[in-house]
Structure 1
Amino acid sequence: MIAKALGKPGGERDSRSMCVVAIALQIHPDWPLILVGNRDEFHARHAAPLGAWDDGSGIVAGRDLLASGTWLGAHPASGRIIVVTNVRGALPDPAKESRGALVVDLLRGDGRFADPVVADLDCFNAFNLLAIGDGKVRLLSNRPQPQILSLRPGVHALANEPIHSPCPRAERLRAALAAVVDSQTDPDRLLDMLSAEDDPALFLRGDIYGTRASTLVAVAADGSARMIERRYEAGGRPVGTTALQFRIG
């Protein structure tokens, strides 16, 4: 199990993002891949909802409209799924490359950082990133030092801490996903838990800053996939849901 840091996509203006994500790999009998998480951000930062991008990239994701990147996306044709985080306590350097652009390069499989090596990771502000695709699942991080690790089957979680640091928020979501796997129930129920009013550890209900979206990606054994995004405005009020189905890989 990993407990780490999740953060905001692209744009390096601050390090306050407090996103949380969990992933189940190769242990649910019907859903060999389940990824679920909350994106927390300032409500004033504009974002486009989940959808297929119209730039020919083949990416399916929400989009940060300030830096044109994304925090979580899929590339159905290749089977790639990427999610990026920041790490708390690290002051952002505006001269660094955009973390959201890293996600885009990895999803497309094209660009300067389409296949980064350890030496590339310090080009970015503090981050952790899960990269699923090309027959492997990797964790890329530059805190506490640059490294690229392979993830084994199991349930893993990320929040805003350096890798291997304890994080109660990440553990809360990891345990919830593990319970879904153990009971072999439908993963959609995780979305309700992510926005539960009685669980402020996962859902941040602020007027200026808070949870902006809850997202689920579930890939079935036959390669069919569904991706659901629930969006929220100031005060945690729901403003829309997008549910997509596609084949992956």
Structure 2
Amino acid sequence: MCLILIAYRGHPGYELMIAANRDEFHERPTAPLGFWDETPQVLAGRDLQEGGTWMGIAGAGRFAAITNYRDPCQVKSGAPSRGRLVRDFLQGSQPATCYLEQLRPTTDRYNGFNLLLADETGLYYHTNQTGEIRALTPGWYGLSNHLLDTPWPKLQRGLRLLRDQLEQQSSPTPNDLLKVLTDRQVAPDADLPQTGVPLEWERWLSPIFIDAPGYGTRSSTALLVGNSGKAHIVEITWADGSRREFHLDWRA
């Protein structure tokens, strides 16, 4: 993922709401959102190049998502796939805190990442940039390609648009979240972060929805989990406009 907007117990009646865009090179092979044959409790898309995933849910209230931390100077050749961290959590049964504590001593092998995990005990954030493991309190959060809640223009704009959408709705739908994810406003140069890529790329990467040469927003996902544990998840794949939609009991 490259943008994750989070309302964690931030709206009456809902445990968790996620609006997320996956940005990736167009040539990277991908399978859309679906249940996995080898572990049918996992509902996620799939990176067919490395076998991992960027975001998904599973039974017993499990959720996981990852973003890359953008710093070209830190890139390690031959580092293991970060998408496997999401896959392994969703396919396993370890509590989120145990999983993160066991992972933490090995995270320097990976290129930079931010990891969000949820289970029945709560929602957690971890990054290998600081080693932090943080239990999130109820509220609104944004995550892109820097640390949690770094005030990048796309993140601030996305959270503002999401709050505006949800505060108008007593019973929000996935379409309310997906609407936010199609915003293409480019940030002014003065507001762009300096992440080590050329200025032209900082501009291309600054909107919520990215459309750059050979790279961009491949899919958008909206997840709503009610206080009852009923989940509604929708993914739109932009290459063909296809829509995949699932209803399930998240805690079962």
TM-score (norm 1): 0.83
1:54-98 per-residue CA deviation (whole Å, 9 max, x = no partner) reads: 1125210000100011000000x2210111001111433234332
Counterpart in 1 of 2:100?
116
- Kept in 2: contact 1:21–1:173 (CA 8 A): no
The equivalent residue for 1:190 is 177
In 2, Cα distance between the equivalents of 1:218 and 1:165? 24
Cα deviation code 1:128-173 (max 9, x no counterpart): 0111113111101011x21111111001001112345321111111
Match of residue 49, structure 1, among 32, 46, 62: 32
Shift of 1:207: 4.6
1:198 deviates by 5.8
Is contact 2:143–2:150 with CA below 8 Å preserved after alignment?
no
Going from structure 1 to structure 2, the CA distance change for 1:213 and 1:160 (only over 3 Å counts) comes to: same
Give identity over the alignment, percent.
Answer: 32
The 5 A counterparts of 1:55-66 are 55-56=38-39, 58-66=41-49
Q: Quick one: distance in 2 between partners of 1:220 and 1:134?
A: 13
Counterpart position of 1:213:
219
Match of 2:47, as an amino acid?
A: D
Aligned residues, how many? Answer: 225
Distance change >3 Å, CA 110–CA 122, structure 1 → 2: farther
User: How large is the RMSD of aligned CA atoms in angstroms?
Assistant: 2.1
* Pair 187,177 (structure 1): closer, same or farther in 2 beyond 3 Å: farther
Match of 2:64 in 1: 82
Partner amino acid, structure 2, of 1:34: M
Give the secondary-structure state (helix, strand or coil) at the position aligned to 2:161.
Answer: helix
- Within 2, Cα distance between the matches of 1:165 and 1:20? 12
Structure 1 residues 1-249: aligned runs within 5 Å: 7=1, 19-56=2-39, 58-75=41-58, 77-90=59-72, 91-109=74-92, 115-117=99-101, 118-143=104-129, 145-163=130-148, 165-185=150-170, 186-188=172-174, 189-196=176-183, 201-233=207-239, 238-249=240-251
Q: Quote the Cα distance in structure 1 between the aligned partners of 2:210 and 2:39.
A: 34
SS at structure 1 position matched to 2:11: coil
Specify the SS of the correspondent of 1:246: strand
Structure 2 residue runs without a partner (length 5+): 187-205
**Contact 1:176–1:190 (CA<8 Å) still a contact in 2?**
no
**Inter-partner Cα distance in structure 2 for 1:103 and 1:50:** 14
Q: State whether residues 57 and 108 of structure 1, in contact with CA within 8 Å, keep that contact through their aligned partners in structure 2.
A: no
1:30 Cα deviation after fit: 2.4
Distance in 1 between residues matched to 2:87 and 2:27, nearest whole Å:
23
Q: For 1:201, what is the secondary structure of its paired residue?
A: coil
Larger-Rg structure? 2
Kept in 2, the 8 Å contact 1:29–1:184? The answer is: no
Bigger mean CA offset, 197-206 vs 102-111:
197-206
In structure 1, C-alpha distance between the alignment counterparts of 2:148 and 2:222, rounded to whole Å:
23
After TM superposition, the score normalised by the length of structure 2 is 0.82
